[in-house]
Chain A
């Protein structure tokens, strides 16, 4: 898969000051060059990676107006912002990081952090509160992204520009299309639980991936859809950042409200004991399906924002690898709590940034980490902190033994 984005520039007015700042921020050296009337400071980058530079010269306004700036900050947004603050910058200066390569989400700046956090959270609704793992969740993210990208492409003018109203309209179409897809997939998946549920969601996710990948006339196949340039106001990284932040805040508030609603508590009863939940009068499948659709809709919100942010969409967005990342983030942070996946997304992103500085064996590293977490800290980071969660985990063993005893007691005897 090719990257649509190959270079990032940050406009500066004082190259020396900016170079010092970014050297502090990145914890690395920048290489200064001149190019005609322009002064550049090149970021260090691997031969097969994506590079960028600071740029001073005519037409480059440090206010970021008219210029979209892609900045890769390492090893994580908190550390980077801390260093930025130490360098004398405003902590909320929204420099946006670019994914290191497609297939990973290596965001460090807030904007990407928020997006990924949102994605992991909608997954959390499935696993943390309902007790099921979906490995096909990226499909709903991807379907939302494609729905928005297709409408975006249809609405934009011949000059590649799109009006604000049309832009917002194209964003609005992502969540419901993702929700409808989740309704269809969920109809089959909620008939199963546990590993069977996980495998079936994986199968559907891959199915959707191959449909998008192969149906060239409709989806442009592995070329993806390019040229999703938002209206000028949203091209400004600051504006897009706050636009995204506002949506994330609203979505997170809605999610929080749902997890604390009667529906949210019904989901907890399903997680703990499905049979008993049915004997409360809860229609188990209907509730699981509703939850699946809600989680799909939130993934669709994240997907809708993705296209205009990255200016393109491609089939890998639907792949199981993306779903796996959401599962990893949730496992690391701790499932079943609201901020666990958000914490997990920050840790995952920071870890990836740090590890990739030293080794190319990132998958091996994260695999080992996940293994250790599953074996020794099944509650994730929050589980280690929260004693109550840990104590409950210990009791789950006893509860399972009881459930087994109940199953034996209920088994027919001659």
Chain B
């Protein structure tokens, strides 16, 4: 049994009077690949925001690799080894694809205060490696804002991977992608999970992808965990059917 890389206990978050995260307890083992599902507004993005320091939890504790990260700002959470890719691609629109990834590589190298080093050559090899891995090598000199939606999402993933994470959060990684793009992206995620024992937690609306690529599912509804289990268990569960899966005509 591998140790828990992520341990969340009693996580709470209110916005005004709205309880968006209610007493969530959640763990992940190193090397796991899991998905969080739930209807719109279930609190999936908020959950990821709480884990990565974008929001401060009102109560509860987040442990990552044996150390507490509750309430740390995003840049410090990231330095511990957590990366995330956003639902709506959040890239650097005026920089080229290569510059996007290279900036992420240099941030990972903690080189961003080096005033007189070469921004072009530092981390260039690693940048090329990430670009090739994500199938972006041929588009390296395009301005990121010009990319097609699917390529933007791939760049989003490349930026996250450039951070050399141990734990990767993907918020709807295939949204806006064609079927082929979605397949190749999830194959890449599987490969990273398998070969580098990268721990992956993703959200996804496409139930086909969820059932094929997650080995464990967590169903969120109104900020609460309703159900956890294997894809088979969740598919068979009556509550899950009623709350969520029914909508998706499985």
Contacts and interface: CB of A to CB of B under 8 A. Distances in A.
A196 to B, nearest CB: 20
A391 B146 contact: yes
B42 to A, nearest CB: 9
Nearest to A284: B75
B49 A276 contact: no
Contacts of B122: 262
Contacts of B119: 260-265
A3 interface: no
A389 B15 CA distance: 40
A269 B106 CA distance: 12
A280 B76 CA distance: 10
A409 B45 contact: yes
Interface in B47-98: 49, 52, 54, 73-75, 78-79, 83-84, 86-95
Interface stretch (A115-123, A368-376, A395-403): A395-403
Contacts of A257: 115-116
A279 interface: yes
Nearest to B156: A276
A133 to B, nearest CB: 17
A276 B107 contact: no
Interface in B37-51: 40-41, 45-46, 49
A287 B106 CA distance: 14
Interface in A251-273: 257-258, 260-266, 268-269, 271-273
Nearest to A400: B93
Contacts of A413: 20, 40-41
Interface string A169-185: 00000000000000000
A292 B222 CA distance: 44
A282 interface: yes
B197 to A, nearest CB: 21
A157 interface: no
Chain B interface helix/strand/loop/mixed: loop
A79 B98 CA distance: 41
Nearest to B95: A268
A58 to B, nearest CB: 53
Contacts of B163: 280-281
B87 to A, nearest CB: 6
Contacts of A392: 93-94, 143, 145-146
A406 interface: yes
Contact of B112 (A287, A336, A396): A287
B116 A258 contact: yes
B20 A412 contact: yes
Contacts of B108: 280-281
A260 B113 contact: no
A266 B74 contact: no
Contacts of A277: 92, 107
A91 interface: no
Interface residues of A, number: 44
B151 interface: no
A371 B139 CA distance: 37
B116 to A, nearest CB: 5
Interface in A262-313: 262-266, 268-269, 271-273, 275-284, 287, 290, 294
A281 B90 contact: no
B113 A263 contact: yes
Contact of B41 (A402, A406, A414): A414
Nearest to A278: B74
Nearest to B81: A281
Contacts of A1: none
A357 interface: no
B111 interface: yes
B88 A405 contact: yes
A260 B118 contact: yes
B114 A261 contact: yes
A387 to B, nearest CB: 11
B99 A281 contact: no
B242 interface: no
Contacts of A260: 118-120
* Residue among A262, A266, A278, A395 with most chain B CB within 10 A: A262
A261 B118 contact: yes
Contacts of B222: 414
Given A281-B75, A414-B41, A273 B103 contact: no
Contacts of A45: none
A268 B106 contact: no
Contact of A290 (B79, B83, B89, B113): B113
A412 B46 contact: yes
A388 interface: yes
A398 B89 CA distance: 12
B117 interface: yes
B103 A269 contact: yes
Contacts of B217: none
A395 B149 CA distance: 13
A273 B90 contact: yes
B140 interface: no
Contacts of B112: 262-263, 265-266, 282, 287
A260 B114 CA distance: 11
Contact of A283 (B75, B89, B90, B159): B75
B87 A406 contact: yes
B143 A281 contact: no
Interface in B117-133: 117-120, 122-123
Interface string B155-190: 000010011000000000000000000000000000
B18 interface: yes
10 contacts: A257-B116, A261-B117, A262-B114, A276-B91, A276-B159, A280-B78, A281-B107, A391-B143, A392-B94, A413-B20
Interface of B: 15, 18, 20, 40-41, 45-46, 49, 52, 54, 73-75, 78-79, 83-84, 86-95, 99, 102-104, 106-120, 122-123, 143, 145-146, 159, 162-163, 222
Given A260-B120, A277-B92, A282-B75, 19 more contacts: A258-B115, A263-B114, A265-B99, A268-B92, A273-B90, A278-B73, A278-B74, A280-B78, A282-B112, A287-B113, A290-B113, A388-B143, A392-B143, A395-B146, A402-B88, A410-B46, A410-B49, A412-B15, A412-B18
